[in-house]
Every structure is written in C-alpha cells, then in structure tokens.
Structure 1
C-alpha cells in the first residue's frame, strides 16, 4: 500500500488537477483501491478532493485531487550575486507565497540570515514546512558547502538554512534549472536532456532518465569552464580558456572595446536588445560562440534535446542563425542529419527556484511515505 501511496503522491505532484479515476487508470488499480489510497492520504492530511475549475460543460461536477489545506509545504530559495527569492510551494508545484530582495553583499552571514527570516515569515505554521531547497550561483559540494566566485563565497555552509525542516537540498542554480526543465519545462518528454544556462558565465546539467547527473563531487554542470575559449585568457576560477568568458556580458564588453561591466547580466541584456550595428555584430559573435560550445557538448554527451536558459534565450531570439549555424558546423557529420533540437527553456528565470522546489519535494514525498509506513 505504501508503494501505491508513493506513486499516487508523485502522480498528483506531477499532474496537478488529476481526477481519482484518471489516477486509478494510470496506476493500474481499481477505483475502489484508488478510493482507499485517497482516503488514507486525506486522513494523513496530505491530499484532499475538491471541485475542478468550472469548464462550462453540463453534467455532474468533476472532482480532482488537490493538496490538503493543512498539508506539507516546501520553501525554495534562489540566491544570486545581486538578490534572493524565496517561494513556498505546495504539492503540485503551486507557489503559495513569495518574497524577494536585493542584497549585493559578499558577506554570507547577513544574506543567509535574510533568507532564513524570509522562510520563517512565509511559513508561520512551521509544522507544515517539511523541506527546504536552495539554488545558488556556484558549485555546491555533497556536504552542502558552496564556492561561488560571483558571490565571493568560499566553503560557505548552507545547512543552517534547513531550520526545523525535515529535509534539505542545495545545488548549483544552473543544474537545478536543468532538473526543472526536465520535470516541468521544455525537456519533459526527453529521455536525455542537456540544459545550458547563460548568466554571469555558463552552467547547466545533463538529465538522464529524470535524474540529475551530479558527478563525483556534486559539482557537475560547470560547462562554462570547459576550455572552449581563448587559452590566453585566465578565468577567475583559476583555469584558462574558459568558454563562459566568450559568451557572457564581459565578452560583449570586450568586443565593443568597453571595460568589464559591474553587472555583466544587465549589461548583456542591454547590448543584446540594442539596435546599434556594433552591438548587433558583438551579439552575433557571442551567439556563435554559444552555438559552437553547445555542439561540443552534444558531441560528447549525446542528448536528444538541448534547452537553453538565462541570457541564452535572448541570444537565441536575437541571433538565431548565428547560434544554429555555429551549432551545426560544430557537430560531427553523423549527427547533422538528426541533430538534437536547441530550444529556449520554458521556465525562464524561474528555472533554478523551480528546480530547488522539485528536488526538495522529491525528498519530502519519500519522508511522507516513510511516516505512513510507520516504525520498522
């Protein structure tokens, strides 16, 4: 029964608004068994049933499976070098509360304190908060410590953000955006999906069979530090020739003969949106570098779909030919006949925080089912 309970919960989370009859069909159980499962999960204050949104059709009103009003919640936070956002998310992925603020602080203590305060303010019923998920700029180790050149944080322990929650997960923002696109975005139907996210550098992830490939140290997906760039250029990470330095806002500034901007993301957005001829030429050059690097990743990783997020979406819209031509030119010959499509991410800038929520919810659902099972 607990296995079926777990399957039902994951189904309701993945397909909010599903009916009990449809859930029974997908689970391969009788309607009576589905009724028993729903009753048990309702008694545990995890699920409930309620009327579907009005459709205008005649006949008996449809009821759907919904998160219980006293059910578990997850807090997800996205921390960048300029700001943070905290969302509280219920079963099914709906955001029920959100707050964001700028910080611009290279001292981690006040930032972590502000995020903790935001989580507490959004979850006054602390007993409902079961999980916390954090998406942050920079690689995160398996013991939940982050090294972020953008934030100026090195070996910072993120575990205090767990608070009183049962489960905690933290990861690189681009890697979690990859997970989100695979679960709820443009790569939902892909078996092996590659996500490339351009921000202040390049990150991403590979999702195989619905699972993130995190690597031996938990730091996979640092695609921007592949040596696809000029080997004479030293990166702040310590390596030389990093691809990210050819695609971000600093690359655009360099091409335009300008000093490195203090906010490379905002600067890149202004340049990409500009009608100035020099800006358009610089944008095409950077877009081609993006396409060429994606080709290298496809040659090496063999995905069936590539999603592009962050500034990559804007480069794809502003210079689609530059991206696609460089991508195809960089592919091995045998791949060109059926090249994996390169498409814009569906979740936009929300990708990292959605991914953090999804990873936390995965752990929370395991915990809920374990509690239903009771002591061994």
Structure 2
C-alpha cells in the first residue's frame, strides 16, 4: 500500500484508519471483490463517517499549524506508526513517544513545540482526548478552561488513569436505589431544557462530556457514539479491560468509562425509549451535525452478559405509574409505603369525622338541655 501524503485527506484513506482498532478485512476485500461478510468491519465504515470527518479536521489543522519543513508527520503512515507504538507500549512516557516520532524520519533536532503538537495529534486520534497544555490548545485557551495535560515523564496509561479516576457516587452508583432512579429521571434533556432553559453544545473531546458552563447555561455533549461502540467491540472479549494499560493495547479506553459515557447519552440524557427525548435528540443532531449513530441503540454487538443496564421498555405514563413500575425492589418498597400512608390518611379522616360528629352532638345537647319532668 503506497504512502499517502498527510495533506491528502481523500475518502479512500478511511479504510486505513482500521489501524486504530486492528481491523482485519475479509478475503473478498483483499481480493478487491465486493464484501459479502456480515462480520467484516468494512461494513461499519458508513457508521463512522462523522469520526472520519473529525479525523480530516484534525489532520488539516495539524498541516496548517506547521510548515512543511517542520512537519514531523509527512504521511498518514507516519502518524499510524506512532499510534501503533502507543498501543504496543501503553506505559510509554510522552518524552519517549516524542523520541520515537523524532527518530521516525530524517528530522534535525525538531523543535519541542513541533514534538508536542505531533504527540497531541497521536493521542487525539487514538482516544479523542486533547492532551496538550492550555497554551498549546487554541480552543481551551479561548474558553479559559483548565485540563490535565500529559507531562513528559508520565506514562500514557497513568495519564489516562489520572484523567478519569474511578469514584463511587453516593446515589448514581446504585441502580436499585429509588433516589438514583428519580435523579436520572430529572437529568433528562427535555426536563433540563424546559425547567432550566439549558442549551446543549457538541464537543469532540471526551474530557468535556457533560461539562456545564454556568455562565452560558450550556451543557456539552460528547456525541461520537460510533467511535465508542467500536471501542466496546474491542473490549468485549474476555479480559480485564478496566485498567488503561490493558485497554490501550487493543486501542480503547477503559471499558467502564466508555459504557458510562454511552449510557449517559442513550439512557439518562436522551433515553431512546421516550418519544420526546428522541425528537429532541433528532433536532439537535440536525442542528449541530451530531453523529447520527447517537440515535441508534446497540446491545448484543457491544455489551457483555450482565451489562444490560438500560431499560428498553417505555416508561409508564402518569405519576403513579412511574412510581409503581416493577423490576425494582425500591419500587416495591415505595408501593408498600404509599399504601400505608394512604390507609393512615383515610383512617385519620374517618376518626376526625367521628370526633366532629360527637362534638356536634355534645354541643347540641348543651344548647338544648332537657329539663327533668315533674311528678
């Protein structure tokens, strides 16, 4: 396969991006025939069009930021080799990755800024994370937001681990908790938009997913679900992919992180089982050119047994129906509590009525005393 210059971003290069996920095409494609295999990853190229458009943008921005003589990546293959190096060595520090990039071509003492730009491009394409420092990222410099950047002496896996630390939320970490169910219901986009007048903005950086801009009353949404699903396919096999060092080797972020991002989109913010949420999501997709795949739910192809945390039946209508919905121990407890409260209220009202009646009789007897009859 001939080397493709980096400034050439033709659609024909999309199939070459399979290097990110270790794609192996069927024999028909290798023989330049029509693909007839349902399991061939070539069939998913159409789903990843939005990611491929972002890849074009990242490449063109990199090309525009460097003069040809200072450009460390001359071809797409140069970039892909650096990506493969990062996957094969997840404990590689940024300084070591920069050394690999510098030694990959005939570069004479490249500038540090050029090395940092090249290594940032590698991480951005592989993980969709901007690892550059604030002064190196025009977008972040404009918004003034702080981010943890990848330092020279920090291994790549350690950077990912520090970027997304695992914590236990007192409410949302327990699906059977009634408070968790109610909180998730209140976080739906239709309610946020109606009650808080909140707006939504797309982002291409996983770090910014669900970032709230209080000044603008805007919630950022990471929308590249096809990219997330491709990573879930990589980590669906047996193995411990909770550690960044293991997941990076196959070209993915930690599985739990990817699952949470996908569920936050298709279960909590835009539950696909609700017509209003689907209509809002469709409108935002057209308005902001979101990844169209965000409107499509996949289960068996990307999830393991036991990861089906999404309820695929529509929510019951009405106040009482939502609270008495089955499939949850917390809802059974709520049903018993509601019945007990209702019975206590009825009993109290009946007792009050009897007391009022008795008081009225006593008052009438006092107002109209009966005189004893004489002999």
Please give the range of the TM-score, normalised by the shorter of the 2 chains.
under 0.3
Higher relative contact order (CA 8 A, sep 6+): 1
Q: TM-score, normalized by length of structure 2?
A: 0.25
Specify which structure has the higher proportion of strand.
1
Q: TM-score, normalized by length of structure 1?
A: 0.25
Q: In terms of Rg, which structure is larger?
A: 2
